[in-house]
Amino acid sequence: MNLLEQKRALFDALAAEAAACRRCGAMCGRTAVLSDRNGSVEARVMFIGEAPGRQGGDRTRVPFSGDQSGHNFGRYIASINLPREEIFITNSVLCNPRKESGANRKPSTKESLNCAAFLQRQIELVAPRVVVTLGAVALAALSRIEYHQFTLKDSAGRVCEWNGRLLVPLYHPSPQVLASHRREDAQLRDYAAVARAIRQSAAQAHAGEPSH
C-alpha cells in the first residue's frame, strides 16, 4: 500500500468514525458530512466552514453546495480560478444543527468542542499548506486546536501563520453576511488573499521549506 492509499484508508476510517458519532444529543438524527465528496486527501488548500446547512451540505452531502451559501462560495473561488477539485472542504461541526422549527442554527460551544478532534485529525491527515476559515465559528474552532488571537474584524483577508501553515480568515459566504457584514466587492478582495497564500506556499515548497 503506497502513501496515498494509506491516507485514503485512514480517511475512510475517520469518516466512518464520524458517521457513528453520537456525542451531540440534538444531532443524533443526522449524519456527519464527511466522505470522499469533501475533496482530495492530497489537497493543498482546506476550507473550513461553520456546519452543514439544512438545504446545503446536509442535503447534498457536499459542503457548500445546493444552497445560496454554496452558490456564493462557488463564485468566490471561481474568481481566483480555484477549482473545487483542488481543494478539501469541511466544517468545524460535521452535522447540521437545527432549531426546533427546522431552521439552521449556530452550533453550540459544546458541539464545537465535541467535533474539535475530528477537525484536528482532518487537518493532520490532509496536511494542507493553506487553511481558509469561513466565518467566526470556524476561526474559533482552530483556536481549540492551536491557540491563536485572530479575529475576523482584524484579520479577514490577510495571510497569517497558524500551526506551521498559512491561514486566511474569511467571512462566511451566506446571504445574510453578504447583505449586512461583508459586501461583494470586499469578499472578492478577501479571496484574492487566498490566491496570494497559495502562491506563497508554492514558493516556500519550491525553496525547500518543510511541508506540513
Residue 194 included in any domain: yes
pLDDT of 29? 84
What is the count of structural domains for the chain? 1
Residue 211 included in any domain: no
| CATH code of the domain covering residue 71 | 3.40.470.10
Q: For residues 96 and 155, give the distance between their C-alpha atoms in angstroms, rounded to a whole number.
A: 27
Residue 10 included in any domain: yes
pLDDT in tens, 152-187: 999 999 999 999 999 999 999 999 888 888 899 999
Q: For residues 107 and 184, give the distance between their C-alpha atoms in angstroms, rounded to a whole number.
A: 26
Global pTM reads 0.95
Query: In the block, which residue shows the cell 476561526?
Result: 139
pLDDT of 209? 57
Q: Which domain holds residue 42?
A: 3-206
Q: For residues 12 and 177, give the distance between their C-alpha atoms in angstroms, rounded to a whole number.
A: 34
Which range has the worst mean pLDDT, 27-31, 57-61, 119-123? 27-31
Whole-angstrom CA distances from 185 to 10, 35, 40, 80, 148 are 40, 33, 30, 13, 28
According to DSSP, the residues that pair with 46 across neighbouring strands are: 88, 131
For residue 212, pLDDT over 70 is answered with no
The continuous run of DSSP H or E covering 194 comes out as helix 184-206
Contact assessment for residue 135 and residue 172, using Cβ atoms and an 8 Å cutoff: yes
Residue 182 included in any domain: yes
